[in-house]
Amino acid sequence: MMEDEISLEGMFFAIRKQWKKILLVTIMGALVTFFVSSFLIPKKYTSSVELYVNNGTNTSNTNAAINPNDLTASQKLVGTYIVILKNRDVLNQVAAKIGNISYEQLQSDISMSAVDNTEVLKISVTSEDAQLSVKICKAMADTAPDILKRVVKAGSVEVIGSASVPNGPSSPNVQRNTLIGALTFLLVSIFVSIIAFLKDNTVKGEKDIQEKLTSKTAFSVVEAYKTIRTNLLFVTSTSQNKAVVFTSAEPSVGKSTTCINLAITMAQLGAHVVIIEADMRKPSLHRYVRVSNAIGLSKCLCGLERLEDSIYLDVFPNLDLITGGPIPPNPSELLNSERMVRLLDTLSETYDYIFVDTPPINVVADGLICMNHAAGAILIARQKQTRYTELQKAIDSIQNIHGNLLGVIVTNVNEKDKPYAYSQEYKYDYESKEK
């Protein structure tokens, strides 16, 4: 599927289908980020002090007009002061005043910058110890004016205010980190959902079948058994052969369930229907209607039972059943025998429709053998299980024997999966009936 053109509709569908998981992952991501930011990341505290840099020549006269040239020179001087204050010797002097702190730590904790391109130099100290941040700021404020005056020998530096203990940590920003974490997990979960959708090679419904399978067969993926019933009525109306084969590419896709439930809908219309369990290797229909499998198709084809004695009558109103019977050693030979042809001919004289439930055709050839004696076949696939390659292989097998594929039914489709939901697996609670 990765090689195909990516459908925006498909990606939207994948996201919508997984929205609960995506929401859960997003919430969990937010909670994890909140926990890590609140309890695992060390908190840091920032204290600051500001120095006013004055390059003016008339610093004693408070009434003198401000010289624009002095302002420009002061702004430029701020950059020079920053370089000087970051000097190793200067920071070592500060470290000596504080005690028990290294030059490397000071270099890491201290940052300096001009405030909005003004003459104000801001010294900020960020540390895991709030009291230490204040202490470093005060040491810098005490040291800087004398050093700058001695080195530069021009202008003046005045400390503006004093450093104070911060009210709370400057980092981490728990609120911001939580939001970033939630958005990150949201995007990752959406990405994973899309990748999973693109890598999913299983049948999803009518649209995908039509896009993926390139055979010339016209596919009819229907949304309910009554619609399928209508199609069957139309297809078989022009044929003397009323036998319809139900098969699949693989086991456990709802083939027998679909067969018997569709038979019920036909019977509800008043049609006389019989189901033949041609899956003699693994018979199961007798359990659906709770009858014995001691008699059935295998004994009938071996000549051990008469046809009329092999039929369970009225397992549902207007619906009869021929079970598979005891498992024979040669089911393929029995299905390909003349007795099978005569059995279908005989049943055609009595019944309006004959439904033949066969094994998966990608496993054994029994289903293909039965198609030689039927008006057509219905192929059953299961959403999120049947792969396109397996479905195509089954279709190719039908076409190779010139079989008439009436349609494909996709079972187990969730009604919420609307872009692809065209069928649904129905179940019926059969009453116990012993024969």
**Alpha carbon distance 240, 249 (integer Å):** 27
- Looking up tokens 């998981």 gives 21
Q: State residue 225's pLDDT score.
A: 59
Amino acid identity of residue 209, one-letter, is I
- Looking up tokens 């009604």 gives 415
Are 213 and 219 contacting, i.e. CB atoms less than 8 angstroms apart? yes
The terminus-to-terminus CA distance of the chain in angstroms comes to 50
| Domains along the sequence of the chain with CATH | 8-41+172-199 (no CATH), 45-160 (3.30.70.1130), 206-411 (3.40.50.300)
Q: Which two tokens stand for residue 236?
A: 């078989």
Q: Which two tokens stand for residue 245?
A: 């084969």
- Looking up tokens 């054994």 gives 364
**Alpha carbon distance 333, 274 (integer Å):** 22
- Residue by residue, DSSP assigns 290-318 as T---SSSHHHHHTTSS-GGGS-EEEEETT
Are 204 and 221 contacting, i.e. CB atoms less than 8 angstroms apart? no
Q: State residue 162's pLDDT score.
A: 87
Distances 341 to 82, 143, 238, 336, 373 between C-alpha atoms, Å = 102, 110, 20, 8, 7
Mean pLDDT split into 10-residue runs, the chain, 435 residues: 53 80 92 93 94 66 51 76 92 92 93 87 94 94 90 82 89 93 92 78 53 42 56 69 91 89 87 94 88 94 94 94 94 94 92 94 93 90 87 92 86 58 36 37
Beta strands, E only, 370-418:
376-382, 405-411
Q: Which two tokens stand for residue 84?
A: 């000087």
- Looking up tokens 């110890």 gives 129
Buried b (16+ CB within 10 A) or exposed e, 408-421: bbbbbbeeebebbb
Are 144 and 85 contacting, i.e. CB atoms less than 8 angstroms apart? yes
Distances 175 to 38, 135, 184, 220, 264 between C-alpha atoms, Å = 10, 29, 14, 54, 61
CB atoms within 10 A of CB 84: 16
- Residue by residue, DSSP assigns 171-239 as B--HHHHHHHHHHHHHHHHHHHHHHHHHH--B---HHHHHHH---SSPP---SSHHHHHHHHHHHHTT-
Q: State residue 421's pLDDT score.
A: 37
**Alpha carbon distance 419, 385 (integer Å):** 18
- Looking up tokens 């309910």 gives 224
**Alpha carbon distance 211, 151 (integer Å):** 80
Q: State residue 333's pLDDT score.
A: 94
Distances 81 to 50, 92, 141 between C-alpha atoms, Å = 13, 16, 13
Question: From the CA atom positions of the chain, what is the Rg in Å?
Answer: 42
Q: State residue 300's pLDDT score.
A: 95
